[in-house]
Amino acid sequence: MGVFIVAVTNTNPFPPNLNLNSKNGGSHDRKQLISRLHKCRNINQLAQIQAKMIRNGHEQDPFLLFEVLRLCSNWNSIDYASKIFEHIKNPNVFLYTALIDGHISSGSCLHGIRLYSRMVDESIKSDPYVIASVLKACGFELALKEGRVVHGSALKMQLDSNRSVRLRLMEFYGRCGAFKDAQQVFDEMPQGDVVASTIMLSCCIIHGLIDKAFAIFTQVSARDTVCWTAMIDGFVRNGEMNRALRLFMKMQGEAVRPNEVTVVCVLSACSQLGALELGRWVHSYVGKYKIKLNHFVGSALISMYSRCGSLEEAQEVFVEMTDRDVITYNSMIVGLAMHGKSREAIELFQAMVKQGLRPSSITFVGVLNACSHGGLVDLGFKIFDSMVKDYNIEPQIEHYGCMVDLISRMGHLEEACNFIRRMKVAPDHIVWGSLLNACKIHGNLKLGVQVAKILVDGGIADSGTYILLSNVLASSGKWEEAAMVRAKMRHSGILKEPGCSSIEVKNEIHEFLLGDLRHPQKEEIYKKLDKLNIILRSEGYSPATEEVLQDIEEGEKEWALAIHSERLAICYGLITTEPGSTIRVMKNLRVCNDCHSMIKLIAKITKRKIVVRDRNRFHHFEDGSCSCGDYW
C-alpha cells in the first residue's frame, strides 16, 4: 500500500478568531444554537438545528451559517451545504471559503474553483485563506491557467507574501509541473523551511524526479517526521524499495519518531521486497511507539505478512484487530487468495457480508482471484454476477481479467474467447495475455497465434506477449517461427524482463538472476547446486528439458534449467540459514514446471519448508508436495 504525502500547511480555512458581527449577537437562543452546533454529530441533527435557526430568525446569521457549512464540510455533505449557501442573501468571504473548502474536501475541486470565480465576480475581497484554498484546488486539478489567475489576484492584493499562500503556490506550480515557477517561490522562502522543502520534494516525487527530491531532502537541516516520511514514500512510489528502507533506518538513527504513515510506507517497501524480517522489525515499532493498530496500519501489516510469505502472522494481526473495515477484510481476502486458500477467502468474504459490511470493487478482485486459483468456475460466475445484481458495482477490467484467467486456465478456451467478446470494456494486454498463456498450457497453437496477432495489431503487445507467442510456437516444434518472433521483439526495442529471485537472510536482501555469478559466495552456491542435482537424480528427478524453448542440445537445456534464479536463491538459503528453518524466495516471473517439480523434491530431501512467491501466487513446498496442487 502506497501513501503519497504532500506536506500540509498550517492554513486553517476556518479561523478560530472569526469575528462576524450579527445584529442578533448575544441573544440567549443564539448561544443555545451555537452550543448545539458544537455538539452536533450528524446531518439529521444539523437539519433540526437549522430548522430552529429559521424559526428564531437566525437563518441569515453569518456566524451560525459558517458553523453549519463547516460541519457539512467535515461530514462530506457538500450537496446539503450548497443548498444552504444558495439561500444566503449576502455571503461574505468566510462563507465562501467554507463552501470552497467543502468542495475540495469532497473531491469537487472544479466546483471550488468556479465558486471562487463567482466570488470574485461579486466583488467580494479575497483573503489569504480563500486564496490558499483555491490554489490547492487548482493544484489537484492541474489547472495551471486558472491558478495563474489566482496568483495574479494575490499579487494585486499584496497577499503573495503570506506564508500559507506561498506554500500553496509552490504546491500548485509543482503539481502542474511548472518547476521554474515553483522554484522561484521556494527561493523566496526562508532558508531551511522544512514545510516548504517537504512540499517541493513531494512535487518532484509526483513527476518522478526522485533524485531532485532527494537533493532537496538532504539540504533540509531540521527534518521532521513529515519530511522523512515524504521522502521514504517517494522512494517506494518510484520502486526504490531498498533506498526507502535504508532511509528509514537512518531516520531511526537520528531519533526521529515515525508516525502511522511512515510505518505504512515502510511496510509497503517490505511487501514489495518480500523482506519478512524487516517487516517484523517495523511491526515492533507499532508497539514501541504506541501507534494505534487502526484500519490503516492493520491492513498494511496484513498485506506485508501475506506478501512476505507468512500467512499465519497476517491472520494473527487480523484476529488482533477489534475494529475491522472493508479495507481490512480486503487485505486478508487478497492474502488468502494469494496463498491458494481459496475456500477460506470466500468464507471470509461471506462473513464480511453477513456483518453488514458492503464489499468494494477491490473485494471482488480478491474473491475472483481466489476462485481462479482454486479453479472454482461456477462459484466465480455466481460471485461475478452478484457484483451488479446485489451491489450495483460495474465490473472493471480487473474483474474481467480474473474471469478470463479462471475460465481459460480450466481449458475452456472458446468459452473464454466468447466471454471477452461480451465484455463491456475493451480488453487490455493482461486479459488477452491470460488467454495466450492458457493456450500455451493447453497446447492450442492456432488460437494462441490468433490472440497474439490481436495484441500486436492493436499495439498493446508487451514483452510477455512476444515471449508467450515464441514459447507457444517453440513448444510445438516451430523453432524458426519462434526465432522470428524473438527477432521482431528485439527489432521493436522491446526488452524481455529478466527472471529475478530474491531471498532475505539476516535482514539483507540477496538477488539472483539466471546463472548469476555476481554473488560473493557464488562458489559455495554452485557447489551446493551440484550436490543437490546428484541427490535429486538418485531420487528419480529427470530435467523437463521441454521447458527450455530454445533449439539447443539436450545437455545445454539441462544446464539452462539448473541455473534458474530461484534455484540459486534456494541454494543460498540452504547454506546460510539454520537447518529446519523455512526458506522464502520471491520471484518476479511465473515459476516453470521443472523448477516446481525440483523444489518439491528439494523440500522433501532437506526436510525444509520452502515458500516461493511468483508472479501469480505463493507456493508452499513441504515434504514433496506443493500447496497449489500443481495448479497455478
The string of pLDDT tens digits covering residues 102-161 is 999 888 999 999 999 999 999 999 999 999 999 999 999 999 999 999 999 999 999 989
Select from 221, 222, 243 the least CA-distant residue to 231.
243
495: pLDDT strictly greater than 50: yes
Residue 436, domain member (yes or no): yes
Do 542 and 479 reside in the same domain of the chain?
Answer: no
Q: Are 197 and 185 spatial neighbours (Cβ–Cβ below 8 Å)?
A: no
- Domain final position from 210, 227, 257: 257
Residue 34 included in any domain: no
Domain count, the chain: 3
Would you say residue 444 lies in a domain? yes
Q: Is the domain of 466 the same as that of 562? A: no
The share of the chain scoring above pLDDT 90, in percent, equals 64
pLDDT tens digit sequence for 44-76: 888 888 888 888 888 898 889 998 998 888 888
Lowest mean pLDDT among 115-119, 190-194, 570-574, 582-586: 190-194
Decide which of 544 and 612 is more confident.
612
pTM: 0.81
CA 425 – CA 400 distance, rounded (Å): 9
Q: What is the pLDDT of residue 1?
A: 42
Q: Are strands 610-613 and 500-505 parallel, antiparallel or unpaired?
A: unpaired
Same domain, 480 and 505: no
Between 522 and 593, the more confident residue is: 522
- In 458-521, alpha helices (H): 463-475, 479-491
Domain assignment of residue 448, given as a range: 398-491
Q: What Å distances lie between residue 550 and 151, 544, 558, 562, 593, CA to CA?
A: 63, 13, 12, 15, 16
Is residue 364 within 8 A of residue 399, CB to CB? The reply is: yes
Give domain status of residue 303, yes or no.
no
Specify whether 517 is located in the same domain as 486: no
Mean pLDDT of 358-367: 96
Q: How far apart are CA 321 and CA 300, in angstroms?
A: 12
Of 527, 504, 531, nearest to 586 by C-alpha is 504
From 239, 257, 275, the end of a domain falls on: 257
pLDDT in tens, 287-305: 888 888 999 999 999 999 9
Q: What pLDDT does residue 241 have? A: 93
Based on the fold, state whether residues 555 and 439 are members of the same structural domain.
no
- Asked if residue 550 belongs to a domain, the reply is yes
Angle between helix 377-391 and helix 397-409 axes, rounded to 10 deg: 160
Is 109 in contact with 103 (CB distance < 8 Å)?
yes
Same domain, 572 and 466: no
Residues 456 and 508 in one domain: no
Do both 430 and 519 map to the same domain? no
